[in-house]
Amino acid sequence: EDQVTQSPEALRLQEGESSSLNCSYTVSGLRGLFWYRQDPGKGPEFLFTLYSAGEEKEKERLKATLTKKESFLHITAPKPEDSATYLCAVHDPKGATNKLIFGTGTLLAVQP
């Protein structure tokens, strides 16, 4: 079954304490893996797309990496404003309509 699993469900960090979020996927023929940030009561905000194993993307304190089975979102020296839910998604391999399969997210809380 095609699915996306994120861990941990929730993560509490102190400001400046680096960590990683995990997204593992089981789809055949990955056509893209996506990371989103979602603040409470708002729609997801696009962060990164990764297309092939070994690829890395960076934005400020965030770096996303991809292997053949999983992706990591590394957060370096986080600040309280990085607190949000981080969602991972992949293209549904069935059909060519670019539907997304989402994980249930990791709720990150960064305390000052």
Partner 1 sequence: DVKVTQSSRYLVKRTGEKVFLECVQDMDHENMFWYRQDPGLGLRLIYFSYDVKMKEKGDIPEGYSVSREKKERFSLILESASTNQTSMYLCASSTLGTGLNTEAFFGQGTRLTVV
Residues that bind partner 1 (CB under 8 A): 31-32, 34, 36, 41-46, 49, 51, 87, 89, 91, 96-100, 102-105
Closer residue to partner 1 (CB): 78 or 105 = 105
Closer residue to partner 1 (CB): 14 or 98 = 98
- Minimum CB–partner distance for residue 8 and partner 1 (Å): 15
Short-list 91, 98, 78, CA closest to 106: 78
Closer residue to partner 1 (CB): 42 or 68 = 42
- Minimum CB–partner distance for residue 97 and partner 1 (Å): 5
- Minimum CB–partner distance for residue 14 and partner 1 (Å): 26
Closer residue to partner 1 (CB): 9 or 14 = 9
- Minimum CB–partner distance for residue 56 and partner 1 (Å): 16
**In the 8-state DSSP scheme, what is residue 81?**
G
